[in-house]
Amino acid sequence: MDRLLRGISADGSVKITAVTTKDLTEKARRIHSTLPVITAALGRTMAAVSMMGNALKKEGASITARLNGGGPAGTILVTSDDKGNVRGYVQNPQVDLPLKANGKLDVGGAVGTDGMLTVMRDLGTGEPYNGSVELVSGEIAEDFTRYFFESDQVPTACALGVLVDRDQSVIAAGGYIVQLMPGAEDETAERLERSVQRAGAVTNMLMNGSLEDLIYKVLDGFDPKILEEDPVTYKCYCSRAKIRNAIAGIDKNELRIMLEEDKSIEVKCQYCGEIYTFTEKDFEE
Ligand code: ZN
């Protein structure tokens, strides 16, 4: 089962959030039939958004990230609830690109760099807050790091990783976000940068140890304490009523023509693949 941990260094100068997302990324792969490079792109985005969602700490709040860098993947859309449960969608799930020279999936090539990362926070007040940054590399972790720095003005290190097996299933996935608390010393920032670098790749850490081990490694020398744990999962909030309302919003004449032709309307939820069927009776009133 996937889970999310929040911790803090013993001296209170560094905050960390870390998440495993293997199961939810595998679920997304099956729903959307993604090929490996898109599994990685969507998986990395879901790990980042899950951690941001869990930080909202407000019942009913949600956060959505939209990336489009003009690459073959098209738009990537991921939403998290206030617990870190995510759902996601990629415009072109079946993109296939050659591996990069270092043997890694070319996520940056699939996403592209000519575009924006937009984050929408909905705290349930009816006034969503939007922030966006230009994409740095399309590799996603760097793009979110820039977002945290430019939009939230918090020095942040963000690492995300998805490891895909030969049969295209997900072997490991997850990530972490470390943030310096206000007033942290320069020396702390430098020490943190070194320990993050020593820790190495997220997927290596997740393959060789627990999520707790990852935190101890990333914050080596900071004596981190784990404060909270939450389970996270792939969770869609679609319902028959919500989809019916969306359909009822389209032009009445168009709706009538569709129903006359096919006797029913089938709508597939773009996030979870659930199919809802409506007939004329559903729209009588
Ligand atoms: Zn759904």
CA of 221 to the centre of ligand 1 (A): 43
Among 211, 138, 202, CA closest to 175:
202
**Cα 34 from Cα 152, distance rounded (Å):** 32
CA of 237 to the centre of ligand 1 (A): 6
Listed as ranges, residues in the chain with pLDDT below 70 are: 285
pLDDT for 139 equals: 97
> Residues of CATH 3.55.30.10 domain(s) within the chain?
3-231
**Alpha helices for the chain (secondary structure H):** 22-32, 36-54, 107-111, 141-151, 186-199, 202-208, 211-218, 240-248, 252-262
CA of 214 to the centre of ligand 1 (A): 32
> Residues of CATH 3.90.1280.10 domain(s) within the chain?
240-283
CA of 244 to the centre of ligand 1 (A): 13
CA of 170 to the centre of ligand 1 (A): 22
CA of 87 to the centre of ligand 1 (A): 8
> At 32, is the secondary structure helix, strand, or coil?
helix
Residue 45 CA to chain centroid, in angstroms? Answer: 3
Pick one of 2.40.110.20, 3.90.1280.10, 2.40.128.110, 3.60.20.10 as the CATH number of 240-283: 3.90.1280.10
CA of 243 to the centre of ligand 1 (A): 9
Q: What CATH class is the domain 3-231?
A: alpha beta
Among 40, 62, 38, CA closest to 52:
62
**Cα 263 from Cα 123, distance rounded (Å):** 40
- Burial environment of residue 169 by CB neighbours within 10 A (0 to 12, 13 to 18, 19 or more): middle
**Cα 40 from Cα 58, distance rounded (Å):** 29
CA of 239 to the centre of ligand 1 (A): 7
pLDDT for 285 equals: 61
CA of 133 to the centre of ligand 1 (A): 28
CA of 25 to the centre of ligand 1 (A): 16
CA of 236 to the centre of ligand 1 (A): 5
**Cα 241 from Cα 245, distance rounded (Å):** 6
Structure tokens at 29: 């792969």
CA of 37 to the centre of ligand 1 (A): 23
pLDDT for 238 equals: 93
Among 63, 78, 70, CA closest to 32:
78
**What residues pack around ion ligand 1 (CB closer than 5 A)?**
236, 238, 269, 271-272, 274
CA of 271 to the centre of ligand 1 (A): 5
Q: What is the pTM of this model?
A: 0.94
Structure tokens at 164: 């895909």
